[in-house]
Structure 1
């Protein structure tokens, strides 16, 4: 998710960044951050839990994937495999894919602790290492899509590995959040940049001058065009409200902001028959 504590010190830029540079930055960044992320958020996520975002909306509540029993399911950006582990406890055959080797090590740790094993591979959303029409469901819970430059290729890869009629569901930072500072206090409620400015957010390592982290923004209209252009029919758009009594602080997400403006968008779409012909 978009909370990010840089290691080492960085300077922030807004400039174009391609797929290779994004991948080279974000994989090592998540390797550095994985231990801290799991220590901070592991209890909230659950070892075999499935939440769609910092608001705490669960898959049991949302039902975005439908009945996963006896289904082949791929989680893109699986991290420590919590969501895939939940799918397996509900009868699905879930598999994980992540760009971070350290996150996959945490997945192995949770496999051992829970006894629920999620077969996982190191890989990227733009080159899924699976045959055509291998899965009934592909999902991504804040796991990869915001870190991908060539998002059209990632969506096309999802369509390729899905069977006709297959389900694609994902959550991302709500696109309107791009207008506001990444600040969980009242100061973060003032729009300060254009919603339509798609220039990536970039952190550059002060010591080496190398790109250390990249995040990409798409508008809601961009997502509609991407999905329909790849042969998907959009069925669901959820904008979870901040629950009463939920006091968790997660990067730019907080009760102060969450009571007034959405922080997460959860999208569901079905692959039309013949879309990949």
Structure 2
């Protein structure tokens, strides 16, 4: 049983927490192990070969073995960061595919041409708390078995995060943007809130807005208002409906808001617009 567990454990070369100011410099060096760097505070210029990556608080970077690298503190205040070196024993390396829940992130790392992979870690995420726990164990209790278990837990969380990021990269966001537009086109007369749409799509409102704008060039809120104004123009031009009814039919919460938005978009009040259209028809 113990031998089976040993066969899946990584070899932890080092787990260090460093604090440096911008007077500290580091020469290029190379390791025969993977290296994980997590920035807790401050800003760091990290150089991989001749490529510069600016890391800020919350960024996590993993570099492949035998990669020339160095880093410099560039923030005015001191920078705090965690460095972990590790590698897999041949027995573990042979079982990476079987142990993809733990070591799947290494498969992703090895599949890309870049010598590194980095992403941002949310402050209250499992990865963040796991790193804090590993540091505490390494400094205070120094129980090797528990330290290795915590490292496996960290690798599981990193694998999940990287798998999620890779799925996001491959997702067809143009299709999602078109679905959002179609929803607005069919429901502009309702009390649409972008936050509600975002929740149904399991994303933040800012992410939804960015996806929509990247595809259509405008924010979804702006598109919704322009859609409502275009429909209002149709009603004003082709019907004798009261302006208050048109406002309600186009999804505006009040006549005053309708008047304000309509004038902002057209330069005319709804009454002036209708009068102008009727004059043109005479």
TM-score normalised over the length of structure 2: 0.19
Q: Bigger relative contact order, structure 1 or 2, given CA contacts below 8 A and separation 6+? A: 1
Structure with more helix by fraction: 2
Structure with greater Cα Rg: 2
TM-score normalised over the length of structure 1: 0.20
